[in-house]
A and B are shown apart, each in its own frame.
Chain A
Amino acid sequence: MKKITIATDWLDGCSGCHMSMLDMDERLVELIKMGVELNATPITDFKEPTEEVDIGILEGAVSTDHHIEVVKHMREKCKFLIAIGDCAVFGGIVTMRNYFPVEELLKRGYIETESTVDGKIPTSSEIGKHTKLVKAVNQIVKVDFYIPGCPPRADAIYHVLKELVEGRKPLLVGDLLRYD
């Protein structure tokens, strides 16, 4: 049986798409039995792909310089890159902040929120710096397949992975292609 390795990571997102992946339930086992091997994923808890993988999956929009690195790293490590969920595919709800300057965004988030007392904007160099505009993954690197949806249905993710594992080109139609 041919082994097919998958790594996933997330950017500026809510992890809802990864929840949808887990929502495949027993079909995850089915995929594993078909030869899928999970490298970096929420299940294995590796933070990033440790080796070359066949399929890379990215959730979330590109919002900081750190995200740009993650995206580029994943592109280098995988043969086939899937953008999953509206944020990775279109920019999604995160692009709401494109209407405001970054300074205003941070001030609102860390200082002005109603529940915040003596808030301050974090400055640690460990944290990624916000880019001026939020972008979709395909504005940074080449993306091979898109699964939109907020979140994408587990059925859609399963369909795409199964088609790829069985050596076919996936196609999303009907209820599998959704933007909400």
Chain B
Amino acid sequence: MALVNIKINGQPTQVEEGKTVLEVLKEIGIDVPVLCYHPKLTSIGACRMCVVETRPGVLQASCTLPVSEGMEIQTDTETVKKARKFVLNLIFSERNHYCMYCEMSSNCELQDLGYSMGLDHFELPTYTTKFPVDTSHEYILADHNRCVLCRRCIRACSEIAGHNVLGISQRGIDSMLTADLNVPLGESSCVSCGLCVQVCPTGALTDKKSAYLGTRKDSELVKTICANCSVGCGIEVYKRANYIVQILGDWENPVNNGVLCKLGRYAPLNDTKERITQPMVKKNGKLEAVTWEEAIDKAKEILAEKETVGYISASLPLEVLSKFKDLLGDNIGLLENVSNPIDNLGKLSDILSADKIVVIGVDLDKNFGVVGSFVKRAIFNDSELIIVDDNPNSLNKIAKLSYQMKDLDKAIGNALTGNNPVIIYSQIDKTISDSLSRISGKAKFIWLAPASNYLGAKKLGLNGSFALKKNAYIVAPYIEKLPNNLNRVILQTSYYTPAVEAADIVLPSSIWLEEEGTYINIEGIEQKLVKVLTPKKGIKTNNEILSILLGK
């Protein structure tokens, strides 16, 4: 990398060509106030907060200014300080930025700037226009009165999440953040990934639930992974006492780089399903609450009969799956049992370098949303999308070609004309598995496995082949219905469902947020699940219960 000679506050230094002034200043530890700038987004120099002096009296936004030979940068002159404070005053005067009744107070970058620059009063009269508050979205509150028009949300929505929902309508002082062609956010094409909220520096875009649960500053941060699906995105969970305040995408996680889907960001906060909080045993045809000792003794009786088959959900950590195997030997099966004929697993990043992308039988706006973000980003960079689906697919509107499932081979044939084809699929039947097997090695395959640790379960040798016996021990955080033709069933689960009523022994177990362990995602990456919450009294972790049954 070529170097250029510049002067910073009179000090000569050599820096890499191609970097922006802001990047260089940050690297050497000079504090520059920023507002519209975000390290993960393209800089646009909209707010002018980061101005520096390049010649006496000449102010330039450092976030968009590349360093060049002979450049002399002043970061701390009276002119710079005055300009930055004036910009701050302008922003505060433009809309309603009264902190005392804003839920984001103390979670706000505009407020932080006010504090750090010693803004103790407004120099300009404040705005008196009332802007709309858009409450139409299920999870996101858009209060335009708090918007500073930094356009971070717009850039996040298009550049990273790939959804291209947000934009600006009008010009100048009339500029407004707009969804689609100016429809309420809740009626727009928004898929609720929530990345706009994650990057919003003020209280303009907030999580409806999180905003009223406490501030991030007063919360404990736990970095873990989302175990809702097999993508295995990195999440940052903010918690207070024993409840979740907010979930953000982890920018540093190599799987998702900050992006999440609706499920990852909002499902845990909005989980209203009823939990089981005490062990139960069926007596005279009715489930009765019992002590853990009694429930374990009864479970051991059934297990001792040697007539018991094990079913376990591949959504559980390796450690749990492994203990289950220790307990029941090889006579165990996965509840989510499908077999994938294709060996070579692609990486999500392969999608970004693909020229042809085939998506088979899955709507990526509804499921595996983060994979959808990768696909949409690739299309933005001119990749061609081919959808193969018999059902209506949200991505049809951005697809180059759409096929019915009967024309799968045509779609694949087209994809193979590309240099770097990627094929994404979830369900597997004979047609799909035959078609894909034929082109093995000619494309990258991304299989959206049906449970969060499916690859981990396969690695442990768990599959669907086992001998049927009369009793079953079933371990699944959520299960609607029990398999047929069973005599007695031990059910280790978290939520009340019809399956619970049909079981003989019910062992209340933790959900993934209360568990810890190892997961292997669809790319084969091994990641640690960190315990976020402590299960309620009466509930044990899957790991604990299996340890007790194993006598360890």
Contact = CB atoms under 8 A, between A and B. Distances in A.
Interface string B91-131: 00000001111100110000100110010111001101010
A180 B114 CA distance: 12
Nearest to A137: B121
Contact of B128 (A133, A179, A180): A133
Nearest to A174: B115
Contacts of A178: 115
A28 interface: no
A177 interface: yes
Interface in A14-65: none
Given A179-B111, A180-B105, A138 B121 contact: yes
A98 B106 CA distance: 25
Contacts of B125: 135, 139
Given A177-B115, A179-B105, A179-B114, A86 B100 contact: yes
A72 B120 CA distance: 22
Contact of B126 (A90, A150, A180): A90
B128 A90 contact: no
Interface string A109-151: 0000000000000000000000001011011000100111010
Contacts of A99: 128, 130
A146 B118 contact: no
Interface in A137-174: 138-139, 143, 146-148, 150, 171-173
Contacts of B130: 99
Contacts of A138: 121
Interface in B257-290: none
Contacts of A92: 98, 100
Identify whether the interface residues of A are mostly helix, strand, loop, or mixed: mixed
B120 A148 contact: yes
B282 to A, nearest CB: 53
A136 B105 contact: no
A33 to B, nearest CB: 28
Contact of A173 (B106, B114, B118, B128): B118
Nearest to A179: B99
B98 A86 contact: yes
B128 A93 contact: no
Nearest to A90: B122
A68 interface: no
A89 B100 contact: no
B428 to A, nearest CB: 55
A90 B105 contact: no
Nearest to B105: A180
A83 interface: yes
A95 B100 CA distance: 12
A150 B120 CA distance: 13
Contacts of B106: 180
A178 B100 CA distance: 10
Contacts of B105: 179-180
B100 A146 contact: no
B436 to A, nearest CB: 57
A93 B118 contact: no
A172 B111 CA distance: 15
B120 A89 contact: yes
Contacts of B115: 177-179
B120 A95 contact: no
Counting chain A CB atoms within 10 Å of each CB, the highest count among B98, B105, B114 belongs to B98
Given A98-B128, A179-B105, A180-B105, A136 B121 contact: yes
B118 A177 contact: yes
B98 A90 contact: yes
A138 B114 CA distance: 18
Contacts of B128: 95, 98-99, 133
A147 B120 CA distance: 7
B126 to A, nearest CB: 6
B120 A180 contact: no
A95 B114 CA distance: 20
B191 to A, nearest CB: 33
A93 B100 contact: yes
Contacts of B126: 90-91, 95, 136
A61 to B, nearest CB: 11
Contacts of A180: 99-100, 102, 105-106
A172 B119 CA distance: 10
7 contacts: A93-B100, A95-B98, A95-B128, A99-B128, A150-B99, A179-B105, A180-B106
Given A91-B98, A180-B99, 7 more contacts: A89-B120, A90-B126, A95-B98, A95-B128, A148-B120, A150-B100, A180-B102
Interface of A: 83, 86, 89-93, 95-96, 98-99, 133, 135-136, 138-139, 143, 146-148, 150, 171-173, 177-180
Interface of B: 98-102, 105-106, 111, 114-115, 118, 120-122, 125-126, 128, 130
The 3 closest A-B pairs by CB, nearest first: A150-B100, A179-B99, A99-B130
